[in-house]
């Protein structure tokens, strides 16, 4: 489900700015699906098989306006009441407000927090993700969910060529993941994607904060969609070795399967 459209976080690399998503107004001007809870309840009331309900793939469900509107919380309350599972993708520490609901949902079936970590250095995070809490705070959020026994998955993407595709940044992010006991890590490679709309915004941000870097991108990658770092092969090999050593799910499809799977044991018990 998508409760909001657009995003106020201001991440310079956001793919959702791409023109293919047809957001004609300012991306920071958030559209709100005010009747999301009513639509969700209608579906949950009629659906017999328990499943996982997900949100956050296109727009973070914990926008600043969620603090007052509480649409995400109301949806989580319905998911909890009807006995379904829940998973959210977010960069925001506002998710801690609803940890009681994630806890309740997880005790009945499964809830999963998916948190994006891309920049280990907080000062750099404030440049690339200016309007959301820094990575160190997101790590603290992961630890709070760990204390409750609520499984977590980290999105280790994107890693920006010439900026965050370093071994130092990668190692620090992996340390966060290991210490927070994450269940899985989604990483599609060391790099990013750029297409019409998001590419222009990203290059403007590079010109502002990293003068001359956009020219390097244009010279090396042109108008390519997949922007692959020269460090990709080496760091991805290290990534897979680390995940295997610590028994962390690292195949994206397996991570998706975990976040989408509602536990069979609870489903069977609910029939009685």
3-class secondary-structure state, position 258: helix
d(CA 58, CA 61): 9
For 57-91, the DSSP string reads SSS-S--TTHHHH-HHHHHHHHHHHHT-EEEEEES
- Measured CA to CA, the distance from residue 162 to residue 157 in angstroms comes to 15
| pLDDT, position 24 | 81
Residue 66 phi/psi, 5-degree rounding, is: -65, -25
Report how far residue 8's alpha carbon sits from residue 28's, in angstroms, rounded to the nearest whole number. 5
**Which residues, at least 6 apart from 228, have a Cβ–Cβ distance to it below 8 Å?**
161, 189, 190, 191
Distance, in Å, from the CA atom of 272 to the CA atom of 63, rounded to the nearest integer, reads 39
Residue 41, judged by CB atoms within 10 A of its CB (0-12, 13-18, 19+), counts as: middle
Cα–Cα distance, 100 to 36 (Å, whole number): 21
Query: How many C-beta neighbours within 10 Å does residue 123 have?
Result: 8
- Half-sphere exposure of residue 228: CA atoms within 13 angstroms, side-chain side: 9
Query: What integer pLDDT is reported at residue 265 of this predicted model?
Result: 54
Closest CA to 110 of 268, 265, 272, 269: 265
Which among 257, 252, 28, 40 is positioned nearest to 154, based on CA atoms?
A: 252
Which domains are assigned to the chain? 4-269 (3.20.20.70)
**pLDDT tens digits for the chain (272 residues)?**
999 999 999 999 999 999 988 888 889 999 999 999 999 999 999 998 999 999 998 899 999 999 999 999 999 999 999 999 999 999 999 999 999 999 999 999 999 999 999 999 999 999 999 999 999 999 999 999 999 999 999 999 999 999 999 999 999 999 999 999 999 999 999 999 999 999 999 999 999 999 999 999 999 999 999 999 999 999 999 999 999 999 999 999 999 999 999 987 554 444 43
With beta carbons less than 8 A apart as the criterion, state whether 61 and 67 touch.
no
Query: What local confidence, expressed as pLDDT, does residue 89 receive?
Result: 98
Q: Coil, helix or strand for 37? A: helix
| Rounded Cα distance, 120 and 82, in Å | 38
pTM of the model: 0.93
Nearest to 88 by CA among 118, 51, 62, 50: 62
């Amino acid at each position: 489900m998508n409760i909001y459209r657009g995003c106020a976080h201001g991440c310079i690399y956001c793919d959702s700015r791409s023109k293919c998503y047809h957001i004609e107004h300012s991306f920071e001007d958030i559209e709100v699906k005010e009747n999301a809870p009513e639509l969700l309840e209608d579906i949950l009331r009629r659906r017999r098989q328990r499943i996982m309900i997900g949100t956050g793939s296109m727009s973070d469900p914990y926008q600043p306006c969620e603090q007052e509107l509480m649409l995400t919380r109301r949806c989580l309350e319905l998911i909890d009441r009807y006995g379904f599972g829940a998973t959210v993708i977010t960069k925001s520490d506002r998710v801690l407000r609803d940890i009681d609901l994630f806890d309740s949902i997880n005790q009945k079936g499964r809830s999963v927090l998916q948190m994006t970590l891309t920049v280990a250095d907080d000062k750099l995070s404030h440049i690339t993700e200016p309007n959301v809490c820094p990575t160190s705070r997101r790590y603290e959020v992961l630890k709070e969910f760990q204390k409750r026994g609520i499984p977590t998955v980290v999105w280790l993407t994107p890693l920006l060529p010439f900026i965050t595709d370093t071994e130092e940044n990668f190692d620090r992010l992996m340390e966060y993941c290991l210490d927070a006991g994450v269940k899985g890590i989604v990483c599609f490679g060391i790099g990013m994607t750029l297409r019409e709309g998001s590419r222009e915004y990203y290059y403007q941000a590079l010109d502002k904060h990293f003068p001359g870097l956009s020219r390097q991108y244009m010279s090396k990658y042109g108008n390519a969609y997949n922007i692959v770092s020269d460090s990709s092969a080496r760091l991805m090999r290290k990534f897979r070795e680390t995940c295997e050593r610590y028994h962390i799910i690292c195949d994206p499809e397996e991570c998706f399967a975990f976040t989408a799977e509602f536990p069979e044991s609870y489903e069977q018990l609910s029939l009685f």
